[in-house]
Amino acid sequence: MSNLDNLKKDLKRYERLGQAKALSRFFKTGKGEYGEGDEFLGLMTDETRSVARKYFDLPLAGVSKLLASKIHEERVAAVMILTKRFNKADLSGKKVIGVYPIY
């Protein structure tokens, strides 16, 4: 199992269906609404952050896949990983993060 799969599995461990449902309503994920298609696991920010911290060294290709996910918390984890990496990187590392193609 890849680190990307493990990260997704770790996020899923914190899943709260009731909270996910409330977030879906709040972020207007219904047909024709601005968040249409977004899915939520119902995690707290600290839970997402602790999982992201564990996978700080996830390859950029994996981070890119997370950024393209329908699941809100997976996208948030990707941004957290990139932010931490960017803040710790030297100039050349920052350039790599800044120009990496995101799909």
Q: What is the CATH number of the domain that holds 28?
A: 1.25.10.90
The residue type at 84: K
At residue 99, does pLDDT exceed 80?
A: no
The Cα–Cα gap between 21 and 18 comes to: 5
Q: Is the C-alpha dihedral spanning 23, 8, 65, 67 positive or negative?
A: positive
pTM > 0.85: yes or no = yes
pLDDT by residue (tens digit) across 75-90? Answer: 999 999 999 998 888 8
User: What SS3 class is residue 33?
Assistant: coil
How many independent structural domains does the chain possess?
1
| Boundaries of domain holding 38 | 3-99
- Residue 102 is predicted with a pLDDT of 53
Q: At what angle do helices 60-67 and 3-13 cross, to 10 degrees?
A: 40
